[in-house]
Amino acid sequence: MRGSGARLTSNTPLPMPTTAKDSYSVNSITCVVPSFKALLQNKPERIENYMADQEKFKFFVDQLLENAVKEFQATEQYKLLREKLDRMDRDCDMMFTKDEKDFAEECFELISDAGGREEYYVYRKGLSDSVKVLKGLGVLA
C-alpha cells in the first residue's frame, strides 16, 4: 500500500503477516504433525522431504501467529492502542499538508512492516527455542 494514501481507521485492522490460506482451523496443526515429528526424531525422510517440511512448518507457524494476533485484537490493550492510532490519524489530518501526511503514512507503513517482520521472526524463533528446551529437558525425543 505504499504511496496509496491508505490510512488506519477504526475499521482497519493493524497489519499482520498473511498466508496463502485464510483458514484458522485446527486442521493446519494436524496436517504438519507427521512432518514435525519426523523433524524432531531426525528420521531419514527428513532430508528427502526438507523443502516440503519447511513449507508445512512455515504454514504451521503462520497459522499460530495469525491466531495469536486475532487473540490480541480481542483484548482491551488492543482496543486502547487502536483508539490511540485513530486519534493520531485524525491529528495528522488536521496538522499536516497532503504531502507531509503522505510522507508520514509511508514512514508508518515502513515501521509497521518492519515490526511485523520482526514479530514473525521472534515468534518462529521462540517456537524453535521451545522445542530445543523441551528436547534438552528430555520431554521430547
The Cα 24–Cα 18 span in angstroms is 12
Task: Calculate mean pLDDT across residues 68-87.
Answer: 94
Yes or no: say if 52 and 31 are a contact pair by the CB < 8 Å rule.
no
Among the ranges given (1-5, 12-16, 36-40), the one the predictor scored with the smallest mean pLDDT: 1-5
Yes or no: say if 52 and 35 are a contact pair by the CB < 8 Å rule.
yes
pLDDT at 11: 46
Helix or strand run (H / E) with residue 4: none
75 falls in which pLDDT band (50, 70, 90)? very high
2 falls in which pLDDT band (50, 70, 90)? very low
Angle at 71 between CA 123 and CA 133, to 5 degrees: 30
15 falls in which pLDDT band (50, 70, 90)? very low
Which cell numbers in the block locate residue 131? Answer: 522445542
Q: Is the model's pLDDT at 99 over the cut of 80? A: yes
Find the DSSP H helices in the chain.
Answer: 27-30, 33-40, 45-48, 50-73, 76-95, 98-136
Residue ranges of domains in the chain:
23-74, 75-141
pTM: 0.56
46 falls in which pLDDT band (50, 70, 90)? low
Task: Calculate mean pLDDT across residues 60-76.
Answer: 91
- Count other Cβ atoms within 10 Å, centred on residue 66: 19
pLDDT at 76: 97
pLDDT at 54: 76
pLDDT at 77: 96
Rounded (10°) CA dihedral 25, 27, 15, 83: 30
